[in-house]
Chains A and B, each alone.
Chain A
């Protein structure tokens, strides 16, 4: 090799050397590319609305979509397999999902409070966003306070990991719920345009608030002064006339009625995000059903014979074979029909896009009747009329001597019991029964005799998740459950 060439080669290598030798080409600071952090989010209308979608999905996963959360509620008298043995991990998934939902909403509420949107949105737009956020947050806390009593109250995104937090008394939790819902009532629209039909309306907030008041009026708070507020709030919905009962009881859950006139607010399903596979409701003889969720045969046997029974309970299979002749109904009782309005073809392909109702007009009428009876120390005609609308429909608008309408001749107690029973039948499997049994302290009375022995007063509240107690020593456990 010639001398000159070597030098040129070496000089040519110089930049290569430098390039290869110099470290610092790599970047050690992380700048994420495919996600963002909460600190630079919630800067415009759509970003805030995206928090609502997320907050709903968190709870929908448990309450609506894959409805196995019924396991948590099967101790009522409607579902089969109830034992009234509430184990130490009972309801943990719901606890978590509600707080996840709240964690999605709080930074959005905070951003709105801090006016992060600035001039890019009008005050009206900001209030409308705030109203939706507070509505969903109130819904979350309302579930939490009813199931667990005093719970950690988190309203701002503080540094919670390091911070310590205790369970807030239920009065404080209800105060937040009431103020959130009052804001929602004042700022939500009477109705949404059809492209936003799934959102909560003013009447949704009013109804939820009426339910909050009636819950405060009953156990454990027993604050009877709340009955008036409950009645007035329900009456506002009735007087507003935006919602009404669906004429025929068979049509209540049909798809065309998913967003009114009776449905006020639901867990929305869409073909994009199909709800529960309907097989969990169906007997083996229908679309390979699994039958996981079905009524307690005793409860179902007591369901009065009226058109509503055919509408809400699954009494026969596709081919018209009644349940008691079809071994697919292995639990020896009817099934649940409310959530299986799809075609046979859809069911056979495991498809369901059925909404899961949360608030509907029948509930408004029953809340009104219950409160009105209490306020007036006995049933008024208005109270009777409200319930009778439902009874009339349930009977197919004919006089049914086995299931007569209510009259003012009934005592206060008898009327109250009748209303609660009407809730039991009309709102069955809509996750309402457990709350009614709790607030009216009926758990023991309504349980079938075999499981009554398992009942204790402690069953009215669920256990605080062990995980949370272990990680935060300031949390106390509800009576009757183990600590960490």
Chain B
């Protein structure tokens, strides 16, 4: 303790801001102690008030509930606030309720409407007009380190309502967010159960520092959104502009998603139970030739193989052709894809008394994927608690436990592309059986098809994959109300994640055969501690409303893990459960730490409810930077003007609210691994070599990194101008934002000359700009008996690389073997946006009338024609040009909800426009492996309207003495022939639901019962010919988005479910 005190006064003396903040806290602490020691001004009246109930004496209250258009609303829920006593309105909107004397108010609630509390006083007749819950201006919005009324916001914050998310069967929060709001770009990068999504808020700011938004769950940063039970969420806010995110300083540059989990509401305990079951099938199958066509086509192709004096013999004999005609062949996609089943159960109990609010929930998700041997299960438990200890102190606790098991045959090139089932299955020839006569997996015959790949079913079924992840998150806070308006919240949180990744490849797999059994045993432990101390002063002086927030925060993270890679197992069946039986082993381990210390201050000032100002300043010190540059400073400021509060608009019947916002601020990114600023030696596999010539390699240590003490923050300056508009009492709302962001000092590997011996060092180089427009329009076009609530969001982001340090451009070669990509294909280039594809422009096939020109390139009519950019008579590297871009030009989401009586129909349409995909799979399927039925329609002089090159006789071509002028090196695949427009419009989900009427419910003692059927990915309109225009890439590298790498394809899902509340 003494040491700690000493630290307080000696450490970081150079940082004045920190000192001031600490002083504030000490002062606050002293005040608190003073107040409580002196007996507390609050402690005495704790037993007065509502609890002071005398003998029950009933009063009857009656009334009518109508909508804003005057039509009565049946089924409105009415309870005596704070109790479970209640009733519902009848068909004429009338109600009658006996109320104990002394009851304070009645609560009127109805789905899609604002809940209202009406004071009873002496009234016996209360008529209520319900208002649609559009964007409620008095709605409280969670902001960083605090809350604010929506009307007081000066920054760009999108809220997603839980009801909206839960209207469809949701297993995953991130997926449910897709298409819901502006500025948020979500890509399902793989379709596997529990697979990845990529979330980007307002474009891409970074090349190497990561573009993932910061996730904050109940004030705890760095949460895992995938493992969160969506049913536990009370509200979700997305902070987008600098005014909103700058208070997260070094972590705010990529936007922030704030999630608050549920607590019980006053009244008797509520039990929510839900169950749904989904049935899934492959959304789209790639076309493949049937065996009869296939054998004939390939025999024909072989017959043309007459070059170099060759006399071709047919691949398939007449007897074999007969056999395939009679018996058909194998459809490999049918072999490896199945009907997936998804089951999701929820149970939650919540409630509250005057002093205590609680919510306990459990969720079990079991998802059998459409690809054999893929599965995801999740068990999650949550306990939330909040209690008023005294009038001046309350505390809260959130605890969550999750166990996840993710399992899938690899499709991420983890074990080499020759045994990736998603990629290999549609390439295997229909002539190949699944098993041989002994029941062993068949090996592809050579001479046609894909003999260099492994049996797809063996690749899928045989690997044993077991990788559970356990997460324990606990979060505790104490909140002291020191004097009126002043409070201090002390929060401590801890996250523990244990991850295991175990796999085993037996002798039936390629890896297993190659290494005589191959496996990994991997264990990781990650711990994270966060302490946040928030001092808030909130008060109103006449027309002035002031909120001051001060924060001191510290975060420490530690990770460690070990891996054993083992091979050459004496007993194949035992696998990694008997590591002692493996002859070869490589053991490795890692351990690192990082920490962050921050001070933050924010001032909100509102004058006359019209003019709003927010200023914030944050100072962060992160351990991961160079020793001379630990600290970063992040100011922001914003102004808002509520024009609708001015005299000329105040009583407008049309405009209910109009607000203009302007903000500017700087946020940072520290998204690099620790120790990047230090010189390092590497060890392990890449540095070891059998120097002694023995069976085992000798351990080596080699130069791996050079020091960079200058390394510092990547920073983003953002300007945002926005308008919030609400018309006709919220029946029409619109939010429009334009923004410009410039990110400087990009954290990037700065290339070093090859003779240094280290290829690069992480440094601050380069700059990126993002500009965008976001429009969200919502409203209730129909508000009668048939209600229609709709919301359309439109997002446009333009991204441009301004500077890349010493490089003019940086190339990326999608590291996926076998696709004839020997050189870089994706580029980051100064002056250009992310996602740039560079290659040769394909112009179709040479026509018969272009014979001479074709020959000048060494080609013949019917062969591929490329753009000779520099017109020098050959097609070489100088003719490469931009042939596509992987990022959408704009995205649209459109949500709709129709309500009629007890029925509800909702659907979501999403659309991404202007993005291209490089369809790598086609290169093989349409050229040398040729099993796409499309290849049957090859070019002939009679059939010139074809994209499939002519099949020429080898000898004939030889005799033409052509000199090939297509100089592609080993990158012949990098042509626009394989780049397709991947724009799409998708009916993402559609749900039909029926809620039982209150009358029926009261008979069975339930308060809510809802039945629904829902469809996901039912309809997609796209020109893209691969599995899916969206789920095409597993890569999380933003620079290479746009290459279809045979990711786990998505499913079409039908879900049936029920939700009960009682």
Contact = CB atoms under 8 A, between A and B. Distances in A.
Interface string B520-564: 000000000001010000000000000000001011100000000
A103 B758 contact: yes
Contacts of B586: 272
B36 interface: yes
Nearest to B554: A26
A22 interface: yes
B754 A468 contact: yes
Interface string A16-32: 11111111111111101
B757 interface: yes
A358 to B, nearest CB: 13
A348 B554 CA distance: 57
A464 to B, nearest CB: 9
Contacts of A348: 513
A82 interface: no
A268 B753 contact: no
A197 B37 contact: no
A32 B680 contact: yes
A204 interface: no
Interface string B423-465: 0000000000000000000010011000110000000000000
Contact of B447 (A92, A103, A270, A327): A327
A240 interface: no
A318 interface: no
B4 A41 contact: no
Given A1-B46, A273-B688, A19 B675 contact: no
A22 B703 contact: no
Interface string A264-296: 000011111100000000001100101000000
B4 to A, nearest CB: 5
A165 B36 contact: no
Interface in B262-320: 308, 310
Contact of B5 (A22, A199, A290): A22
Contact of A350 (B514, B686, B758): B514
Interface in A24-65: 24-30, 32-39, 41, 47, 49-58, 60
B1052 interface: no
A343 B597 CA distance: 61
Contacts of A351: 514-515
Given A21-B533, A47-B701, A51-B702, A272 B681 contact: no
A315 to B, nearest CB: 18
A161 interface: yes
A38 B678 contact: no
A198 B702 contact: no
A51 to B, nearest CB: 6
A24 B443 CA distance: 63
A10 interface: yes
Given A37-B679, A100-B757, A199-B692, A53 B446 contact: no
A154 interface: yes
A197 B513 contact: no
Contacts of A1: 43, 46, 390
A470 interface: yes
B12 interface: yes
Nearest to A328: B446
A6 B44 CA distance: 11
B689 A152 contact: no
A10 B37 contact: yes
Interface in A295-344: 327-328, 332
Contacts of A409: none
A197 B689 contact: no
A451 interface: no
A195 B490 contact: no
Given A20-B492, A21-B552, A470 B624 contact: no
Interface string A90-110: 001001100111111001000
A9 B513 CA distance: 67
Contacts of A6: 36, 39-40, 43, 390
Given A20-B531, A21-B25, A38 B679 contact: yes
A26 B687 contact: no
B755 A273 contact: no
Contacts of B33: 10, 14
A259 B690 CA distance: 13
A17 B513 CA distance: 61
A472 interface: yes
A413 interface: no
Contacts of A21: 25-26, 29, 490, 533, 552
Contact of A54 (B446, B623, B627, B700): B700
Given A7-B36, A288-B452, A328-B446, A56 B697 contact: no
Nearest to B756: A160
Contact of B584 (A13, A272, A328): A272
Contacts of B697: 53, 270, 272-273
A12 B752 CA distance: 58
Given A35-B681, A351-B514, A54 B689 contact: yes
B754 A99 contact: yes
Contacts of B46: 1
A301 B665 CA distance: 73
Contacts of B590: 34
B107 interface: no
Contact of A470 (B4, B25, B691, B806): B806
B592 A34 contact: yes
Contact of A53 (B7, B516, B593, B687): B687
Interface in A143-197: 151-152, 154, 160-161, 165, 195-197
Contacts of A54: 682, 687-689, 700-702
A123 interface: no
A131 B330 CA distance: 62
B642 to A, nearest CB: 37
Interface in B461-502: 478, 490, 492
Contact of B754 (A10, A25, A51, A96): A96
Contact of A23 (B554, B568, B680, B683): B554
Given A34-B591, A96-B754, A58 B692 contact: no
Nearest to B679: A37
A285 B503 CA distance: 32
Contact of B691 (A13, A100, A268): A268
A39 B680 CA distance: 9
Contacts of B552: 21, 23
B595 interface: yes
Given A28-B621, A195-B694, A197-B692, A471 B753 contact: yes
Interface in A186-233: 195-199
Given A26-B555, A284-B447, A349 B513 contact: yes
A19 B677 CA distance: 31
Contacts of A151: 755
Contact of B681 (A41, A285, A350): A41
18 contacts: A18-B4, A20-B533, A23-B554, A25-B554, A25-B556, A27-B556, A27-B595, A30-B674, A34-B592, A50-B698, A53-B687, A53-B700, A57-B702, A95-B755, A100-B757, A197-B693, A199-B692, A271-B695
Interface of B: 1, 4-5, 7-8, 11-12, 18, 22, 25-26, 29, 32-33, 36-37, 39-40, 43, 46, 308, 310, 390, 443, 446-447, 451-452, 478, 490, 492, 510, 513-516, 531, 533, 552, 554-556, 568, 583-584, 586, 589-593, 595-597, 621-624, 627, 630, 674-675, 677-683, 685-704, 706-707, 751-759, 761, 806, 877, 967, 969
Interface of A: 1, 3, 6-7, 9-11, 13-30, 32-39, 41, 47, 49-58, 60, 85, 87, 92, 95-96, 99-104, 107, 151-152, 154, 160-161, 165, 195-199, 258-259, 268-273, 284-285, 288, 290, 327-328, 332, 348-351, 465, 467-468, 470-472
Q: Which 10 A-B pairs have the closest CB atoms?
A: A198-B693, A103-B757, A54-B702, A53-B700, A54-B700, A26-B595, A10-B36, A57-B689, A270-B690, A468-B753
